[in-house]
Structure 1
């Protein structure tokens, strides 16, 4: 029972932290002090997330929100989901049950070779900054339209329930994509982009799509896939590289709100993947993933990365010399983990300079690294 209460407390702390507004507080903290505070907070935040995640299934059973408990009569109302179709000139919202036919009609006059679909995360929705940033980037780049799923009615409250709902939501989205393909869209041209919980929703959509069509979606980009409740599960219960022909993953808050393990064909870890520069709160690092991706649409060569064993090897400049690109310009290549550094503010991309480590870490982090090198 004590372990369960520890877990519940951990979830409460995570929920409160998630609700914090970094913008209100960061300005009051000097950059140098902010780095030191973030360095001290990181292991604490990771420990809290670890406790919450390892016992997630037990907590879900306690609240009656496991997949088995909800399947059937207790399933969420998937008809509450909507699809947002956005062009340079207008935004159209359609119920997900009507989406295949209405998307076909909408794309008849606003069609691209690529079918770009964004899936948001917990407490988010397509009216907020993440989709606004990504859709605007694609439209500025010359794309005629971008599509988003609005699942906020189902994943707005109670995170542990939301982590189960994503399976149902992904199944429904996969059915819609299968219908869209039957209308003539090449599966190779479908690109799902999912942030946080949206990355796992996209994964289940890919699983369902493959089951229904026998084919793979062309590409799935996962932006800091959610970690709590997905770190200690079977691979089939979360996003995995088999969910699309090419799965690329960007980790920006690994170990807290984001998952640390590599999940794709190519996994990118900017700034170690654990915490991002100029971020005091984890929500800032977690959101940085979609900011980096949005910039990569407009500046394809901004985020050069190198294949490396780990962040320490990157710090010592002992990585592979071949350059690849993180973000929209990513292409299938050698599987593995890729590292780079970014700037502290927009524009974040540093081009080739981002592949060469520059020590701007907190003093306490450097001390820890030095001790680790001596002991190692």
Structure 2
């Protein structure tokens, strides 16, 4: 059956003359609805795991436009979520009692259960005089080595800056399939993250000190946390940063709610793989489109590495002296920007983004580190 799902995803894009025909795709999807409903109850076992899905995108889909492939996947996911099948009704709850926060310091990393956040807020390494940043890993970043790499790189950047409580929430190994990931886990994990933040605020920790940040799925978890926090307290978390917020199955007005402006007092979003693994739509108070709306970043040859550029760009901007590495201008397209048709001031993307800015901003990046077009290649950050 899994092979059948793969074949359908590929074959539905090809017309009789061998060209990709999206309109025909959606006609065929309509014809498949009745047949699909009977199989929806078993879909959780048919949807590929993250490892299989990325392998699928590199092999089965070679020669097919990635954005068109994922547009179909989105439609298929929405059709399933909006049905009345067992697929929607049956919940797969993540093992929350096995999930942990990691409180990073220069000398150690302290693991604290997600269900016992008070232990973290009262830990000697947690400084209530310093701001708090919570970084949530995502679907792409829980593929083995990239989860630890994303956490380690981001933690190193914040530890270099100093004067911050940097915490990570690793979702690795708790999201086994795209179905469980998209349908339920973002909302459930987000709810418990919001409860942890609420306990901290109730202890008189300044609300304006709290910054949630997530990559891919992690961005959608942060969005859910922001909404739950607001529903329970009528307050807004100061800032949520979406690092290429996950695209598949998250659509405005759909069953699943993704990160959106209003989930925090300030929502900034960095787009590096728009329309494929990351959202293409402007969803924040300010949205940064790196190198336009192309799904591939300079120097990247697959969608997964482009998807991961978002957290790499942000981490680079955190180091002292790098705040202005990524300067963007409000614009309508990367072409207009490159033709000098965009007016207005340059705004830094990443760590130093002003929380008063709004709109769609475009910028170019380098193909390798340092990625910031305005970076000084000989600059060596001085860590605190």
Q: State the TM bucket, normalised to the shorter chain.
A: 0.7 to 0.9
Q: Secondary structure at the match of 1:305?
A: strand
Q: Which has the higher contact order (CA 8 A, sep 6+)?
A: 1
Report the Cα distance in structure 2 between the residues aligned to 1:83 and 1:347, rounded to whole angstroms.
29
**CA deviation string 1:28-60 (max 9, x = no partner):** xxxxxxxxxxxx96x711111111011103345
Q: Is the 8 A contact 2:50 2:178 kept in 1?
A: no
Q: Is the 8 A contact 2:365 2:372 kept in 1?
A: yes
Report the Cα distance in structure 2 between the residues aligned to 1:352 and 1:133, rounded to whole angstroms.
18
Q: Is the 8 A contact 1:160 1:229 kept in 2?
A: no
Report the CA distance shift for 1:127/1:240 in structure 2 as closer, same or farther (over 3 A): closer
2:136 aligns with 119
2:161 aligns with 141
- Gaps (5+ residues) in structure 1? 23-39, 354-376
Partner residue of 1:266 out of 278, 283, 286: 286
Report the Cα distance in structure 2 between the residues aligned to 1:352 and 1:88, rounded to whole angstroms.
26
1:224 aligns with 244
1:152 aligns with 2:172: yes
**TM-fit CA distance, 1:128:** 1.2
Q: Is the 8 A contact 2:251 2:257 kept in 1?
A: no
**TM-fit CA distance, 1:106:** 1.9
1:92 aligns with 110
Report the Cα distance in structure 2 between the residues aligned to 1:213 and 1:265, rounded to whole angstroms.
22
Q: Is the 8 A contact 2:192 2:225 kept in 1?
A: yes
Report the CA distance shift for 1:260/1:109 in structure 2 as closer, same or farther (over 3 A): closer
1:186 aligns with 2:206: yes
1:327 aligns with 350
Q: Is the 8 A contact 1:65 1:161 kept in 2?
A: no
Report the CA distance shift for 1:116/1:214 in structure 2 as closer, same or farther (over 3 A): same
**CA deviation string 1:183-236 (max 9, x = no partner):** 121111100010000000000000011111111000001000011111364397
Report the Cα distance in structure 1 between the residues aligned to 2:239 and 2:124, rounded to whole angstroms.
20
Q: How does 1:156-167 map to 2 (within 5 A)?
A: 157-164=176-183, 165-167=185-187
- Gaps (5+ residues) in structure 2? 13-46, 377-384
CA RMSD, Structure 1 to Structure 2 (Å): 3.0
**CA deviation string 1:114-166 (max 9, x = no partner):** 110000001535951111111110001123531011222322x1112101211
Q: Secondary structure at the match of 2:65?
A: helix
Partner residue of 2:305 out of 276, 280, 284: 284
Report the Cα distance in structure 1 between the residues aligned to 2:85 and 2:107, rounded to whole angstroms.
45
Poorly superposed stretches of 4+, deviation over 6 Å: 2-5, 8-11
Q: How many residues align?
A: 329
Q: Secondary structure at the match of 2:281?
A: coil
Report the Cα distance in structure 2 between the residues aligned to 1:277 and 1:85, rounded to whole angstroms.
33
